Amino acid sequence: MSATERALEWFADWFASRGGVLQTTVVLLVIVTIEAIFGGLDPHGFWLLYWCTVYSAVTQPVLAYCSRRAAAKADLDVAAVKAEEDQILATVTVRCVHCGVES
């Protein structure tokens, strides 16, 4: 695994953690509170929109990465269940109650 992949894994794990969610929420609440209290600093909301845009530019790719990682894990789990099901079905003999034929 490359350094970039390790960094992305670390960021994705942090982003999905309780601490990541709490920090993100607090930072955004502080920004909105500053906007509300000191409305004259940013009368048209440019900086609020700027920081929200920067935030979403970072978080959206991370969310996509986390989604792809979760989907890959789910695919592996489904494949494992399917393989186990196939193994069980290979050992099961079914006999027809009407004609007695086994399959």
Question: pLDDT at residue 26 above 70?
Answer: yes
Domain-wise residue ranges, the chain: 3-91
Name 17's Cβ contacts closer than 8 Å, sequence gap at least 6: none
pLDDT of the residue at 81: 93
Residue 13: pLDDT band (50, 70, 90) is confident
The model carries a pTM of 0.54
pLDDT in tens, 45-97: 888 888 889 888 888 888 888 888 889 889 999 999 999 988 887 787 777 77
Rounded mean pLDDT, 33-56: 85
pLDDT of the residue at 22: 92
Residues 17, 22, 25, 31, CA torsion sign: negative
